[in-house]
Amino acid sequence: MTESIPDGVLRLQYEANPVAYILESAGGAASTGSIPILGAMPNGVHQRVPAFFGTADLLAELEAALA
């Protein structure tokens, strides 16, 4: 998935970060495929990122598979 749309489809500051914050507050996890979304530093106002949401265990498996 990250190969077909390397820049992702969600904007980091306006879409991915709010969802990631809510999800992580509820005990879930959010990742770009390599780092947590909340740890990503924006390069611009409308920067897009790949976004994966789920449980911490599921995203750990995903990140290992993508590495």
**Bigger pLDDT: 66 vs 7:** 66
Q: Give the CATH number of domain 10-61.
A: 3.40.190.80
Quote the pLDDT of residue 35: 92
Quote the pLDDT of residue 2: 55
pLDDT tens string 37-60 = 999 999 999 999 999 999 999 999
pTM of the model as a whole: 0.84
Which residues, 6+ apart, have CB-to-CB distance to 3 below 8 Å?
Answer: none
Which residues, 6+ apart, have CB-to-CB distance to 40 below 8 Å?
Answer: 12, 16, 32, 49
pLDDT tens string 2-21 = 567 777 888 999 999 999 99
